[in-house]
Amino acid sequence: MKKIITTLFCALLLLAFMSPAALGANKVSDIKVDVVIYKDGSAYITQTWNCNFTEGTEGYIPIENLGEMSLSDLLVSDASGPYTLMKDWDVKASFKEKAGKLGLVKTNKGYELCWGISEYGEKRYAIEYKINQFVGGYTDFDGFNFQFINPGMGTLPTDVTVKITMQDGVKLDANHAGIWAFGFDGQINFENGQVVAYTKKPLSSKTDSVIILLQLNKGLINPTRVVDKSFEAVKAQAFKGSDYDDKTGTGGSSSVLSEEELGPYDVVIGFAIMALPVVVIIYFLARKGKRKKKILALYKNADYFRETPIAGNLEAAFVLARDFDQTDDDGDLIGSAFLKLINAGCLEPMSEKTVGLFGKEKESISLRLDHPPQFTGLATKMLYDVLVLASSSDQILQERELENYCKTNHTTIMGIIEAAKQDGQNTLMIIDSYDPSKQAKPLGLSQRGENLLINIMGFKKYLLEFSLIGERSIAESIIWQDYLTFATLLGIADKVIEQFEKVYPNATQYSENAQHYYLLAHRYTRASYHAAQTARSSGSGGRSSFGGGGGFSGGGSGGGTR
């Protein structure tokens, strides 16, 4: 069975790569998409392509799945000026016949906007079109969920930037709009009254796309397209498979092939391309199964490890633990950084008593920022810097104060996670933890990297089975401070505290402080990281989601040149 799947996969892959789009050396280095929304809900879209084309006769963009929307005001231009619109576009026409011209091809799913390449070499094209009834008027909000860049383009890798503005000068911000992005590794934010989304890594696979979900408060525009359902329902569909609702997945994009008059060779290619995703899914599920099986076997056979892994490097340990199923919440890194700062005296807990509205006394725990961390570690350093910004001039930080800061500056706190992961990745690369060769599959780790992973697993197992071992040879200060910090990193602190208490049932200064500090770190993690996550999910912008975006309009699959 394995041989059959492998052979079929290779054959279909070869057939797909034999298609003209795949064989081509044509490149689009970057695409800039400018979207202007009008009062009636229509949108004028300009795509600017920076290209280097060396073959083929035309560029094209599939714009499908439009429903009640329609296309108009087509325009393509280059440095020489605007192209001439042809009423009946012939895909099979020659290079010379297409030069300086553009047209629209009707397909069973929508349209293909086409234009002649006109001359080979480096060139910039501006492709403009209007989508009528682009924004829908829903029962609760106005908005759209639209795919601006398709998956499966034949000119990848491509960097993409999308800017959305209101034609009447209304500034878009989190007070009257919500924004989410799907299908790519990047960001979406409100910037100077605009919505700006951009890729941090070029689109490079058959599944990468750019989908944007925009929610507008009622009254900003008056859409002519009225939809008898809530925008919340649209959002719920788009969130499926995304990490906006703390779930992961790959949903959102669809693979669509337009129907044209096809020759025998084209039919074979078409069937190969249609079958390829199924075979790829089977192939990668098999690989994922092997990977999971390998990880479980490593954990089962891991011996107890009694030292903090990777010499106490939170960032590198977190990257390995996160990548190989030993923890599943990015907030754990923030929690461990808080705990480390408190244990080191950088943050000093302070009890504050306040009197409420009805004279009831209330006690709260604040953090006094005593001094920056003197030890190495990017996460703790960056977190301390954020706490300085969030605190008042007296450098005493309250929980509510931090929560309010992180809700309005959620990209800052989320940036700690991204930077720490990159730092951990760099450390692991420097110490040769990875091996890209076939022999290292399915984990992709060198022997050293695998040993470090086994150490993390062994340490996790040691902490979770601490009471069974009856360990008493390690100083309590290390157990309640260093061990609990790493237990927090691995998301098992609650269970580990129970294990420690079984071995040390009598309360000591170490145990009391450790538990108090852990609960404090947990509360401040909720006020920072989880507040930032909530703000991102509520539409304030931030990192895009690879998965999700389902139910989108526009798009389709493919595009580029032919």
475-516 residue pLDDT tens: 899 999 999 999 999 999 999 999 999 999 998 999 999 999
pLDDT value at residue 553: 95
Model pLDDT for residues 274-283, shown as the tens digit of each residue: 555 444 444 4
Q: Residue 156 domain-assigned?
A: yes
Same domain, 318 and 250: no
Return all residues near 139 (Cβ < 8 A) that are at least 6 apart. 227, 228, 229, 230, 231
**Which one, of 174, 92, 54, 77, lies nearest residue 124 by Cα?**
77
Residues 377 and 492 both lie in one domain: yes
| In a domain? residue 74 | yes
Average pLDDT of the chain is 88
Residues with Cβ within 8 Å of 299's Cβ and at least 6 positions away in sequence, in order, are: 457, 461
Report yes or no on 288 lying in a domain: no
551 falls within a domain: yes
If asked whether residues 533 and 552 sit together in one domain, one would say no
DSSP run (H or E) holding 269: helix 264-301
Residues 370 and 480 in one domain: yes
Residue 301 within a domain: no
Crossing angle for the helix pair 331-343 and 314-323, to the nearest 10 degrees: 150
In a domain, residue 302? The reply is no
- What type of residue sits at position 173? D
Structural domain total, the chain:
2
Fill in the DSSP letter of residue 479: I
**pLDDT(3) > 60:** no
Q: Return all residues near 262 (Cβ < 8 A) that are at least 6 apart.
A: 270
The three-state secondary structure class of 287 is: helix
Judgement on whether residues 420 and 556 belong to the same structural domain of the protein = no
533 in the same domain as 490 = yes
- Of 380-384, 406-410, 424-428, where does mean pLDDT reach its minimum? 406-410
- Phi, psi at 215, each rounded to 5°: -115, 130
| Average pLDDT value for residue range 321-339 | 96
pLDDT at residue number 357: 59
pLDDT score, position 260: 36
Average pLDDT for residues 433-454, to the nearest whole number? 92
DSSP 530: I
The tens digit of pLDDT for each residue in 124-162 reads 999 999 999 999 999 999 999 999 999 999 999 999 999
| % of the chain at pLDDT higher than 90 | 76
Confidence at residue 359, expressed as pLDDT on a 0 to 100 scale: 64
46 domain residue, yes or no: yes
One domain for residues 324 and 225: no
Determine whether 427 is exposed, middle or buried from the number of CB atoms within 10 Å of its CB (0-12, 13-18, 19+).
Answer: middle
Question: DSSP class of residue 125?
Answer: E
Residues 468, 349, single domain; the answer is yes
CATH of residue 126's domain is 2.60.40
Shared domain check, 316 and 206: no
Q: What is the pTM of this model?
A: 0.70
Q: Is residue 266 part of a domain?
A: no
pLDDT of residue 371: 96
> Looking at the structure, do residues 227 and 325 belong to the same domain, yes or no?
no
Residues 365 and 386 in one domain: yes
Q: Is the pLDDT of residue 56 over 80?
A: yes
d(CA 144, CA 135): 5
503, with CB counted inside 10 A (0-12, 13-18, 19+), is middle
Tokens 């309640």, residue located: 480
Q: Tell me, what's the pLDDT at 9?
A: 52
SS3 (DSSP) at 338: helix
Average pLDDT over residues 221-233: 97
Q: Which domain holds residue 490?
A: 309-353+361-537
Nearest alpha carbon to residue 150 among 561, 554, 562: 554
Please indicate, yes or no, whether residues 504 and 557 belong to a single structural domain of this protein.
Answer: no
